């Protein structure tokens, strides 16, 4: 009994939060007095016109494409990332959300990168950095004869810079800091955000190499390297000061950060490594599980660091990084959905899956019964879901959105102005874009498929495969019109028979038929972003995530919300109530009063029938392993990565986090972020009143 809403114009569709708060605060153009001078409809027209202007360069009718793009956005079928909405057609024509720029082991470069990042934040983009090239703390500095202060201390400088830019920028700058697991300062990095308030403008992830991860699995030692020399690190006093227990007794003024003195009591399992782990002057090796425990403990305490599976990301890259080491990836953008080369940027856009449901779709349970009753059908879940989606999904619409969306994003690459020549140059050579989804959870509700079930995992895999293949085919067609991306010769697409499995998965084509190479316009096409704000504009569930809840507090920043966090009702939930003759006003009021008093506990605590409450599983109601399985299913047909938070209950133990990490690695994810409910104060999403 689920009513769907399709085809309305944007003015009718936009929720009050989107229309009255989010769009005016950040997206609609303003005059010098700060007065809004644009309607939401004009915003989409501005963006469509600016992006479609590129079509002219390719001999196409720009007006016609502008009309199509505008319609696509007006119906909220496709929403580009925030910087495109904010900046297209304005003087600040920077349209990408994702950047990676990493400092070299050089003081000048470290501060150059800080300045470059500041410029990116001003345009609403987020920056990821790999700090792996920086020499470890206490290493020699030839020029001064002094000692190096190490990656973590420079991260504090970047953190301050980002904090300072925040006020003037389009939105909060977001940063990702990565350090390889085989960097001597990895221990310091793992505990860098242990105290709340430190490095608040950073997400952290350990970039796990294959050697490190295998050593964890086999419970062995692994070698740590000094990036200055490329050789195994020769243990210095400063390295020993962090890892060796004997330093725990030393005067605290001399020994800053000694893991035994500061944290050992709180990290279960670390006792196994008591004593001095290192000997000064010798090659540095550590028990892999010691570092692993530091990581897992941090993630358990407050969600950081996350895990980035570095070698997996490089193996899946569209370049063979052994043959072309310059294409190696060392980091992702802030929310993890885009592993990028150094100085690469990427613009994103999302298919709104919640609008791709067929008229009057069958309910999965009914379909399954019908299917199982058919003696010839067999009991293959893949086949059942395939047949189900044929009836339940409007594939004409899905294909059209994915095709137009891909073309839009390729035009954005050309239309975007970047603050740095190096970025302009790299983006121009690679032309990566990130077509993804939003509204996956809402689609599942409409189809009667429970998020996290086996069927939902299969739905994720099949829909993403479809989007990926449509995007690839579109990019292939664009290559015929506009040429391949300039670095194509170096890519796996130029040599499909050397990478048959990879090629087949990404294109759905037979490598033998493309012996001379497969022309394509973009080196990467798909990616699943969080869509934190854009999904609120489109009034649907975020990215590939389950619903956080049907009503919650959302902290989006003071410019949007004022002093109080926004109360966000899942609009789709309200529409379902309405369609089922529930008194929506009464439910709203009850929800607000429960939220205020702290007594709210999910849809089942509201005065609605159980069958309706059951339709809306919350993120916390989904089992950890099912979160990971959904992520892995999307990843299978995504060139970039998947931004996903694996939620676990507040009382989950550390082993549960480690299990999530291992499962993600087993299922070929590129990274994983686990968040234990309530482990941080000031959560972005919450159902508890603050204070
Ligand atoms: N991002 C950012 N600042 C923010 C939110 C996001 O710089 O406050 C960047 C970051 O690189 C992130 C990407 O935008 O990975 C996509 O995030 P999301 O999909 O949530 O952004 P939206 O387009 O919905 O605003």
d(CA 606, CA 582): 11
The answer to whether residue 5 scores a pLDDT higher than 60 is no
Q: Relative to the CA of 85, which ligand 1 atom is closest?
A: 23
Are the C-beta atoms of residues 286 and 243 closer than 8 Å to each other?
yes
CA 390 → CA 414, 505, 596, 688, distances in Å?
36, 21, 44, 41
d(CA 432, CA 341): 10
Question: Which residues, 6+ apart, have CB-to-CB distance to 191 below 8 Å?
Answer: 257, 259, 262, 263, 294, 298
Of all protein residues, whose CA lies closest to atom 10 belonging to ligand 1?
Answer: 126
Closest CA to 676 of 634, 607, 617, 619: 619
Q: What are residue 352's DSSP bridge partners?
A: 438
Are the C-beta atoms of residues 159 and 202 closer than 8 Å to each other?
yes
For the stretch 374-381, contacts whose Cβ atoms lie closer than 8 Å and that sit 24 or more positions apart, written own/partner, are 381/454, 381/455, 381/458
Q: Relative to the CA of 537, which ligand 1 atom is closest?
A: 24
Report the pLDDT value the prediction gives residue 169, as an integer from 0 to 100: 59
H or E stretch covering 270:
none
Report the pLDDT value the prediction gives residue 1, as an integer from 0 to 100: 43
Compute the distance from residue 532 Cα to the ligand 1 centre, in Å.
7
Compute the distance from residue 84 Cα to the ligand 1 centre, in Å.
11
- For residues 262-288, one letter each, b for 16 or more C-beta atoms within 10 angstroms of the residue's C-beta and e for the rest, the string is bbeeebeebeebeeebbeeeeebbbbb
Mutate to test the pocket of ligand 1, among 27, 82, 202, 439 (most ligand atoms within 8 A of CB): 82
Both tokens of 67, joined, read 């009309």
d(CA 316, CA 636): 10
Report the pLDDT value the prediction gives residue 6, as an integer from 0 to 100: 45
Mutate to test the pocket of ligand 1, among 26, 334, 544, 558 (most ligand atoms within 8 A of CB): 334
Of all protein residues, whose CA lies closest to atom 1 belonging to ligand 1?
Answer: 126
Is 241 exposed, middle or buried (CB count within 10 Å of its CB: 0-12, 13-18, 19+)?
Answer: buried
Compute the distance from residue 535 Cα to the ligand 1 centre, in Å.
11
The architecture (CATH level 2) of 10-95+346-514 comes to: Alpha-Beta Barrel (3.20)
Closest CA to 66 of 78, 82, 50, 43: 50
Q: What is this model's ipTM?
A: 0.93
Strands 221-223 vs 285-287: parallel, antiparallel or unpaired: antiparallel
Mean pLDDT of 475-482: 98
d(CA 284, CA 236): 9
Whole-number mean pLDDT of the chain? 93
The answer to whether residue 390 scores a pLDDT higher than 90 is yes
Give CA torsion, residues 120, 123, 124, 125, to 10 deg: -30
Confidence bin at 554 (pLDDT 50/70/90): confident
Mean pLDDT of 396-400: 98
Other C-beta atoms closer than 10 Å to the C-beta of 450 total 20
Other C-beta atoms closer than 10 Å to the C-beta of 139 total 23
Report the pLDDT value the prediction gives residue 11, as an integer from 0 to 100: 64
Report the pLDDT value the prediction gives residue 560, as an integer from 0 to 100: 72
The answer to whether residue 573 scores a pLDDT higher than 80 is yes
CA 269 → CA 100, 187, 264, 266, 572, distances in Å?
35, 15, 9, 9, 45
d(CA 323, CA 274): 42
d(CA 292, CA 621): 27
Lowest mean pLDDT among 224-228, 309-313, 506-510: 506-510
Mutate to test the pocket of ligand 1, among 530, 536, 560, 671 (most ligand atoms within 8 A of CB): 530
65-114 pLDDT, tens digit each: 999 999 999 999 999 999 999 999 999 999 999 999 999 999 999 999 99
Candidate ranges 3-7, 22-26, 81-85, 681-685; pick with highest mean pLDDT:
81-85
Mean pLDDT of 594-599: 90
Tokens 């000031």 correspond to what residue? 682
d(CA 322, CA 117): 29
The answer to whether residue 664 scores a pLDDT higher than 80 is yes
d(CA 197, CA 37): 38
Q: Can 10-95+346-514 and 105-127+152-165+176-340 be said to share one CATH topology? A: yes
Are the C-beta atoms of residues 146 and 104 closer than 8 Å to each other?
no
CA 301 → CA 564, 671, 690, distances in Å?
26, 19, 20
Lowest mean pLDDT among 342-356, 554-568, 629-643: 554-568
175-217 pLDDT, tens digit each: 999 999 999 999 999 999 998 889 999 999 999 999 999 999 9
Compute the distance from residue 188 Cα to the ligand 1 centre, in Å.
27
Return the biggest CA–CA distance within the chain.
80
By annotation, the residues acting in catalysis are: 333, 335, 337
327-340 pLDDT, tens digit each: 999 999 999 999 99
344-375 pLDDT, tens digit each: 999 999 999 999 999 889 999 999 999 988 87
Rg (alpha carbons) of the chain, rounded to whole number: 25
Confidence bin at 7 (pLDDT 50/70/90): very low
d(CA 552, CA 687): 5
263-278 pLDDT, tens digit each: 888 898 899 999 999 9
Q: Where do the structural domains in the chain lie, given as residue ranges?
A: 10-95+346-514, 105-127+152-165+176-340, 621-672
Q: Relative to the CA of 83, which ligand 1 atom is closest?
A: 23
CA angle, corner 219, sides to 215 and 221, nearest 5? Answer: 60
User: pTM for this structure?
Assistant: 0.95
Confidence bin at 304 (pLDDT 50/70/90): very high
SS3 243: helix
CATH code for 105-127+152-165+176-340?
A: 3.20.70.20
Compute the distance from residue 485 Cα to the ligand 1 centre, in Å.
25
Ligand 1 binding pocket (C-beta < 6 A) is 81-82, 97-98, 125-126, 171-172, 174, 333-335, 337, 529-534
Compute the distance from residue 174 Cα to the ligand 1 centre, in Å.
7
Q: Rounded to an integer, what is the distance from CA 574 to the centroid of its chain?
A: 28
* H helices present in 555-600, as ranges: 558-561, 571-579, 584-597
Is pLDDT larger for residue 534 or for residue 558?
534
């Amino acid at each position: 009994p689920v009513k769907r809403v399709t085809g309305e114009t944007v003015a009718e569709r936009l929720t009050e939060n989107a229309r009255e708060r989010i769009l005016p605060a950040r997206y609609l153009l303003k005059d010098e007095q700060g007065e809004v001078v644009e309607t939401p409809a004009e915003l989409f027209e501005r963006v469509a016109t600016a992006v479609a202007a590129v079509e002219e360069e390719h001999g196409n009718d720009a007006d016609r494409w502008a009309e199509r793009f505008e319609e696509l956005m007006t119906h909220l079928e496709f929403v580009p990332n925030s910087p495109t909405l904010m900046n297209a057609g304005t003087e600040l024509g920077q349209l990408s959300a994702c950047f990676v720029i990493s400092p070299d082991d050089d003081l000048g470069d470290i501060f150059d990168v800080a300045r470059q990042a500041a410029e990116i934040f001003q345009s609403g983009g987020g920056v990821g950095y790999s700090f792996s090239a920086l020499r470890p703390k206490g290493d020699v500095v030839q020029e001064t004869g002094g000692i190096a202060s190490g990656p973590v201390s420079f991260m504090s400088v970047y953190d301050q810079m980002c904090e300072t830019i925040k006020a003037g920028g389009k939105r909060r700058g977001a940063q990702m800091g990565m350090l390889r697991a085989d960097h001597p300062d990895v221990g310091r990095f793992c505990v860098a955000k242990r105290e709340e308030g430190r490095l608040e403008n950073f997400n952290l992830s350990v970039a796990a190499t294959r050697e490190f991860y295998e050593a964890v699995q086999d419970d062995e030692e692994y070698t740590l390297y000094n990036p200055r020399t490329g050789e195994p690190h020769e243990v210095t006093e400063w390295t020993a000061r962090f890892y060796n227990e004997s330093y725990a007794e030393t005067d605290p003024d001399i020994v800053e950060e000694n893991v035994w003195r500061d944290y050992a009591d709180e990290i279960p399992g670390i006792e196994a490594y008591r004593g001095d782990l290192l000997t000064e002057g010798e090659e540095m090796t550590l028990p892999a599980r010691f570092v692993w425990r530091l990581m897992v403990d941090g993630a358990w305490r407050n969600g950081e660091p996350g895990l980035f599976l570095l070698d997996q990301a490089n193996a899946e890259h569209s370049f063979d990084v052994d043959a072309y080491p310059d294409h190696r990836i060392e980091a992702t953008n802030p929310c993890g959905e885009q592993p990028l080369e150094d100085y690469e940027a990427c613009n994103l856009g999302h298919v709104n899956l919640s609008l791709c449901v067929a008229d009057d779709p069958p309910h999965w349970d009914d379909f399954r019964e019908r299917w199982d009753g058919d003696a010839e059908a067999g009991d293959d879940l893949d086949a059942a879901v395939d047949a189900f989606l044929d009836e339940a999904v409007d594939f004409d619409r899905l294909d059209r959105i994915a095709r137009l969306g891909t073309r839009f994003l390729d035009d954005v690459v050309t239309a975007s102005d970047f603050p740095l020549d190096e970025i302009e140059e790299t983006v121009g050579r690679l032309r990566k874009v990130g077509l993804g989804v939003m509204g996956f959870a809402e689609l599942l509700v409409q189809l009667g498929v429970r998020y996290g079930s086996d069927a939902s995992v299969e739905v994720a895999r099949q829909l993403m495969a479809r989007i990926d293949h449509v995007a690839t085919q579109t990019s292939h067609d664009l290559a015929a019109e506009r040429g391949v991306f300039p670095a194509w010769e170096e890519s796996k697409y130029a040599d499909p028979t050397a990478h048959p499995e990879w090629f087949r998965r990404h294109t759905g084509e037979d490598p033998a038929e493309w012996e001379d190479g497969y022309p394509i316009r973009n080196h990467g096409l798909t990616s699943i972003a969080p869509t934190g704000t854009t999904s609120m504009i489109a009034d649907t569930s975020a990215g590939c995530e389950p619903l956080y809840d049907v009503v919650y507090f959302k902290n989006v920043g003071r410019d949007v919300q004022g002093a109080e966090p926004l109360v966000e009702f899942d609009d789709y939930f309200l529409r379902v109530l309405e369609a089922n003759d529930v008194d929506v006003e009464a439910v709203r009021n009850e929800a607000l009063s429960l939220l205020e008093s702290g007594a709210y506990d999910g849809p089942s605590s509201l005065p609605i029938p159980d069958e309706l409450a059951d339709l809306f599983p919350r993120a916390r109601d989904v089992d950890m392993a099912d979160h990971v399985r959904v992520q892995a299913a999307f990843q299978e047909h995504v060139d970039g990565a998947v931004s996903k938070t694996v939620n676990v209950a507040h009382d989950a133990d550390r082993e549960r986090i480690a299990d999530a990490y291992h499962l993600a690695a087993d299922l070929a994810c590129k990274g994983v972020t686990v968040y234990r409910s309530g482990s941080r104060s000031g959560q972005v999403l919450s159902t508890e009143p603050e204070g």
